């Protein structure tokens, strides 16, 4: 396949359709990008050769125009000297130069047309390459995201992961049982301490009551003793 046909295929290719049909879009976009880069290098090399050819043709044209003018001068000199034969020969050489000049001018026009086409296609190819590079980043990112999600899915549905979760749940239940026993023990301790506290308070309250009762009895006894002498005296 020639350079220009390949470049045309790349420029006119539907990248989206190619990626949709590809089994491995990331690999496909890499290949497309590499193909574009290689083609762009060839296109730029071809453009450089065309510019060199154009410069060479210009030099040849300048040389032929100078030679043609020189033969015309010689023909005029031969005519002035009465040498029509030499004049005809000089004019024949000038005609050959003019014919070559016409061919070189056509070649130069072809080169200009080709250069214009190459420059336009180069710009389009560079734009296409930029799009491909942008798509490449997006495709790679999508691939990495899909791979990460797939890895997560595999982890979530793996038997090892399920076993780990089961072990973790068993461990959590053990911790719950230990915490329950600890809370029950603390509650028992608190209840025991509260009961002891209540008993001590009850003893203290009972002591106060007994003290009050004893004080009341002592007072009553004193009142009796105070009242007895008075009764004897009155009799």
Q: Is the pLDDT of residue 194 over 50?
A: yes
What's phi and psi for 22, nearest 5 deg? -75, 140
pLDDT of residue 28: 73
Q: Tell me which residue of 136, 120, 109, 127 sits closest to 34, measured CA to CA.
A: 136
For residue 185, the Cα-to-chain-centroid distance in whole angstroms is 57
Q: Tell me which residue of 119, 121, 117, 130 sits closest to 37, measured CA to CA.
A: 130
pLDDT tens digits, one per residue of 28-83: 777 778 888 888 888 888 889 999 999 999 999 999 999 999 999 999 999 999 99
In sequence order, what are the residues at sequence separation of 6 or more whose Cβ sits closer than 8 angstroms to the Cβ of residue 134? none
Residue position matching structure tokens 């106060």: 208
Angstrom distance (rounded) from CA 190 to CA 77: 140
Is residue 75 within 8 Å of residue 97, measured between CB atoms? no
pTM of the model: 0.48
pLDDT of residue 165: 67
Residue position matching structure tokens 């034969």: 85
Pairwise pLDDT comparison (226 vs 55), residue with the higher score = 55
**pLDDT band per the 50, 70, 90 thresholds, residue 14:** low
pLDDT of residue 233: 44
What's phi and psi for 82, nearest 5 deg? 80, 25
DSSP secondary structure letter of residue 110:
H
Q: Is the pLDDT of residue 215 over 90?
A: no
For residue 150, the Cα-to-chain-centroid distance in whole angstroms is 18
- Look up residue 210 and give its two tokens: 């007994």
pLDDT tens digits, one per residue of 95-122: 999 999 999 999 999 999 989 988 888 8
Q: Is the pLDDT of residue 16 over 60?
A: no
- In the chain, where are the structural domains located? 3-157, 158-235
Angstrom distance (rounded) from CA 165 to CA 54: 76
Could you tell me what percent of the chain has a pLDDT over 70?
A: 71
Read off the pLDDT of each residue in 202-218 and give the average, rounded to a whole number.
Answer: 76
**pLDDT band per the 50, 70, 90 thresholds, residue 226:** confident
- Domain 3-157 top-level CATH class: mainly alpha
Q: What is the mean pLDDT of the chain?
A: 77
**pLDDT band per the 50, 70, 90 thresholds, residue 199:** confident
Element (H, E) at 50: helix 25-80
pLDDT tens digits, one per residue of 133-185: 777 777 677 666 766 666 666 666 656 666 776 777 777 778 777 777 777 77
Angstrom distance (rounded) from CA 194 to CA 199: 9
């Amino acid at each position: 396949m020639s350079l220009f046909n390949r470049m045309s295929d790349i420029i006119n290719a539907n990248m989206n359709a190619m990626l949709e049909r590809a089994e491995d879009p990331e690999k496909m976009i890499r290949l497309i990008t590499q193909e574009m880069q290689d083609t762009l290098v060839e296109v730029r090399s071809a453009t450089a050769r065309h510019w060199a050819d154009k410069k060479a043709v210009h030099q040849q044209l300048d040389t032929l125009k100078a030679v043609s003018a020189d033969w015309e001068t010689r023909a005029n000199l031969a005519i002035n000297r009465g040498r029509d034969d030499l004049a005809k020969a000089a004019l024949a050489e000038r005609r050959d130069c003019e014919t070559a000049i016409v061919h070189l001018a056509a070649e130069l026009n072809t080169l200009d047309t080709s250069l214009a086409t190459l420059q336009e296609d180069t710009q389009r190819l560079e734009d296409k390459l930029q799009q491909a590079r942008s798509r490449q980043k997006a495709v790679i990112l999508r691939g990495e995201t899909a791979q990460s999600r797939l890895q997560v899915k595999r982890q979530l549905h793996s038997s090892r992961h399920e076993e780990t979760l089961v072990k973790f749940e068993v461990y959590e239940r053990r911790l719950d049982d230990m915490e329950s026993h600890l809370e029950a023990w603390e509650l028992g301790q608190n209840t025991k301490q509260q009961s002891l506290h209540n008993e001590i308070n009850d003893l203290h309250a009972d002591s106060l009551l007994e003290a009050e009762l004893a004080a009341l009895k002592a007072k009553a006894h004193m009142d009796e003793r105070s009242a007895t002498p008075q009764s004897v005296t009155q009799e």
